A and B are shown apart, each in its own frame.
Chain A
């Protein structure tokens, strides 16, 4: 697992209070990890802070799984 994936996983576990084993690449934040719409906004804010990037709304909408987040951040974080 890449460094970015590890950091993403840590944020998701902390924010959603879920078991680390459940935070797999294909896990959907809402359907699999029990996030509500406010949680997803908070996660995006947390990713922005952790990786020092700005995630525009249209990009945020495409981040629905753990893997989506990792992919976006691998491409866009410095």
Chain B
């Protein structure tokens, strides 16, 4: 089950905790992966960890529209095609709504939503020709629930859900599925910095009483990328320990 041997995958934000876990999991299932991110060194380190086999490094700054347009062709030429696109990259520029600057809003929308639109548009061309493909967008529980201080982030993540559904409807007849994964609180370098009180506050909202792991989100990605998930499309899969049952 969930064998991805011979599949070619592009993962954005592969230098992050979640993106790295997703890239490792796809690779472990047999896929060739193109790792994208802004930090070349961290990408190279991950490529080394994966043994430099079936791994390509394709750095990209997703805030740069031209660089975004070039990423899918670069990944397709490195991998020899593209079967799986994981739009994982995301940034935060948290601020209370009343104080949020236009730039904070625009930067988050550009990287978290517009880049996913551009990459999906580029990837779907080849997928339509091959009559198969998988796009997995990494959203967030806050796209459904909202979160104070994250108006921009929540809007972008909710936007991904709409993008997912519209595109899924358009390309379903070509055997291309488009889905979203909405993680809750996942252990990462960011959550490591929380103090005990903050951590406790978060965990009171999670029925499972613990943070999730990157590997648990990655496992959901592997499923949606697999042949076994062929009839699942336009869906948002919540991986959040029960903190929001949607």
A binds B: yes
CB-based contact A38/B125 at 8 Å = no
Majority DSSP secondary structure for residues of A touching B: helix
Per-residue CB contact flags for chain B residues 40-82 toward chain A (1 = under 8 Å, else 0) read 0000000000000000000000000000000000000000000
Complex alpha-carbon distance, A38 and B129, angstroms: 12
Complex alpha-carbon distance, A45 and B124, angstroms: 12
Interface size class of B (residues with CB under 8 A): under 10
CB-based contact B173/A36 at 8 Å = yes
Chain B residues with Cβ under 8 A from A42's Cβ? 128-129
Per-residue CB contact flags for chain B residues 121-162 toward chain A (1 = under 8 Å, else 0) read 000010011000000000000000000000000000000000
Chain B residues with Cβ under 8 A from A45's Cβ? 125
A46's nearest neighbour on chain B, judged by CB, is B129
Please list the 9 inter-chain residue pairs (A to B) with the smallest Cβ-Cβ separation, ordered nearest first. Answer: A42-B128, A38-B170, A38-B173, A45-B125, A38-B174, A36-B173, A38-B171, A38-B128, A42-B129
Q: How far is the CB of A65 from chain B (nearest CB, A)?
A: 22
A selection of 9 A-B contacts at a CB cut-off of 8 Å is A36-B173, A38-B128, A38-B170, A38-B171, A38-B173, A38-B174, A42-B128, A42-B129, A45-B125
